[in-house]
Structure 1
Amino acid sequence: MRDVVEQLQRLGMSGYEAKAYVTLVGAGKPLNGYEVAKRSGVPRSTVYETLGKLVAKGAAYELRGSDDAIDYLPLPPRSLLERLRREFDDSIESLESSLPTIMAPPEAHLTHNLKDARALLTRAEDVVAGSHTDLFLSIWPQEMERLSSLTKLAVERGVDTSVMHFGPAPDPVGHLYEHRFPPPAVALEHLGYRLLVIVGDRRETLIGGFVDDSAWGVYTEDPAVVLMAAEYIRNDITMEIIADRIGHDSLREIWAGDPELKRLRAGHGRPAALLRAVGGPDLNQPLTY
């Protein structure tokens, strides 16, 4: 019951209104104000005012007896939910046209830090859910578990979705490529974090990292950063496609023997040290999903 009350509050009812409505629904018969107060915990001093507000909203109905006594019946839950859904959709449609008209031009491209896993993953959900044309993800299984359903919805609405997945994916979605070169364990050792990179519609990107029980991240709409993030994922995918075409053994031989590639790999492990030194995660911050 507590969960239902909280959800109704999120949809616009006050706490007393939600408690009174749930009580009416659970009674299965008309109740008077005294009975609602007794069963719901709404104070008797405010129960009739609360019931009056439910009636005004159309969430309850008055039943008047021959002696002018008033009982109350709830609007059936299915009808209430349909009504709330219509009202919510109408408000969203109205705001879609009205909010942009009052928005001031930004003085700079939006950028903000994300300092724990909850904020990081919630913002990641925003980027995935807000994509309309294309979506790029470089992601590990732990984070994909949280974002998989929204990514599937993006694919269903026609978003061209490319996923670089570190390790096998039990439920592939979109154009998914398994990161095998180098193996995920080697990539993790090199960087020190499970790196999460998401790019939506080539206009916004989220970059973050997870390690042990900590997380850090940044969201930005800066076009240069968005471009680099998209190219990072595209190049990773390109490497995997090439490895599949020429054979992973052949690519490993080139990777191990080419002097220029050795030079570029000379900083092995240094990225992890740099990230820790310049604002990586607060190691005392718990990682919560």
Structure 2
Amino acid sequence: MKKNEIVKAIENLGLSSYEAKAYFALLLESPLTGYKLSKVSSVPRSRIYETIEKLMAKGLVLSQEGDTTLLRPVSLESLLEKKEKESSQNIDFLKKVLPQLKKPAETQGIWTISGRDRIFETINHVISQAKSHIYLVSFDSDIIHFESALFEAEKRQVSVFGVSCGKGVLKLKNLHPHQGQPCSSCRDISLSIDSKQALVGSTFPADGARVAITKNLGIIHVAEDYIKHEIFLSQLFRTFDKVPVEELNKIYQKTLGNLP
């Protein structure tokens, strides 16, 4: 692991950038004077003594007085143990007070979520909350990011219905492969949870991935009807041999061409 990555990880424990650099430098070499620490840690001399004081206040650096003041760090193990304990205490506290907080009124607004990672994180979360049924149309290359959550939903007796686009093999029993008209390249996704929440949008391109999530009943109704329509078409196309399917595709393309 690179030095910068380690310093960043230490910083993520709640230290400032200068504090993390100084602490890491002391882990590598100690004891040091403040002057020497400034040089090896790349913390400016104008900020090093302020940084040392903050580290000492946090109990992360010890000093030894003499002709010159020497500094040494507490062990990284001690730091991690302290942070783990603090984090555990905070989590326990929040779990205790959370039920006491007044929840805001449900809103039927439409909220935008950007970025593929955040989108998949949200999808995994809403699927984990499903209690009755899930409707879905998505690309199999996207579904793999929340396929485990769908399997867990089925274990909870939640029914999963939908259509997957692409050539992947998915093992969800009621997720049908897309038939007929080839899937587009825009990577659209439509998802409905218990007829109470819908998520629609696109996961591609990566820097433009954006979906809308809502509890608006009108939009949920439209999203579910679209997904049911896709399921119906998938089943319908499977009943025809190759030639009629090609003819149906021509009619479909002609119909689309006549629309604005």
- Normalized against structure 2, the TM-score is what? 0.67
1:181 alignment partner in structure 2: 179
RMSD of equivalent CA atoms = 4.4
- The CA deviation at 1:103 is 4.7
- The CA deviation at 1:22 is 2.4
Report whether the alignment pairs 1:208 with 2:201.
yes
Deviations 1:213-265 (A, max 9, x none): 8555322122443354356446645765x57xxx93xx126x959xxx99x95
SS at match of 1:112: strand
Opposite residue 196 of structure 1, the aligned amino acid is I
- The CA deviation at 1:130 is 4.7
1:122 alignment partner in structure 2: 118
**Distance in 2 between residues matched to 1:101 and 1:51, nearest whole Å:** 39
SS at match of 2:101: helix
SS at match of 1:87: helix
- The CA deviation at 1:41 is 1.6
**Aligned partners of 2:141 and 2:168 also within 8 Å:** no
1:18 alignment partner in structure 2: 20
- Normalized against structure 1, the TM-score is what? 0.62
1:62 alignment partner in structure 2: 62
2:256 alignment partner in structure 1: 269
Q: Measured at CA, do residues 131 and 21 of structure 1 come closer, stay the same or move farther in structure 2, by a change above 3 Å?
A: farther
Opposite residue 26 of structure 2, the aligned amino acid is L
**Aligned partners of 2:23 and 2:61 also within 8 Å:** no
**Aligned partners of 2:141 and 2:166 also within 8 Å:** no
**Distance in 2 between residues matched to 1:239 and 1:89, nearest whole Å:** 51
**Aligned partners of 2:119 and 2:210 also within 8 Å:** no
- The CA deviation at 1:201 is 6.0
1:220 alignment partner in structure 2: 214
User: Structure 1 vs Structure 2: percent identity of aligned residues?
Assistant: 22
Report whether the alignment pairs 1:252 with 2:251.
no
- The CA deviation at 1:207 is 0.7
Deviations 1:94-129 (A, max 9, x none): 4454497255425x4131245xxx536523422313
SS at match of 1:252: coil
**Distance in 1 between residues matched to 2:257 and 2:87, nearest whole Å:** 50
1:152 alignment partner in structure 2: 148
> What residue ranges of structure 2 are gaps of 5+ in the alignment?
none
SS at match of 1:34: helix
- Aligned runs of 1:135-146 on 2, under 5 Å? 136-144=135-143
Opposite residue 119 of structure 1, the aligned amino acid is G
**Aligned partners of 1:138 and 1:164 also within 8 Å:** yes
**Distance in 1 between residues matched to 2:194 and 2:46, nearest whole Å:** 54
Opposite residue 256 of structure 2, the aligned amino acid is G
- The CA deviation at 1:56 is 3.3
**Aligned partners of 2:62 and 2:74 also within 8 Å:** no
**Aligned partners of 2:33 and 2:68 also within 8 Å:** no
- The CA deviation at 1:269 is 2.7
> What residue ranges of structure 1 are gaps of 5+ in the alignment?
275-289
SS at match of 2:35: helix
**Aligned partners of 2:200 and 2:213 also within 8 Å:** yes
Deviations 1:142-182 (A, max 9, x none): 5346xx2x543674686658464212326x47557352323
Aligned pairs, number: 246
- Aligned runs of 1:42-121 on 2, under 5 Å? 42-58=43-59, 60-64=60-64, 69-76=69-76, 79-81=78-80, 83-95=82-94, 97-98=97-98, 101=101, 103-106=103-106, 108-113=107-112, 118-119=114-115, 121=117
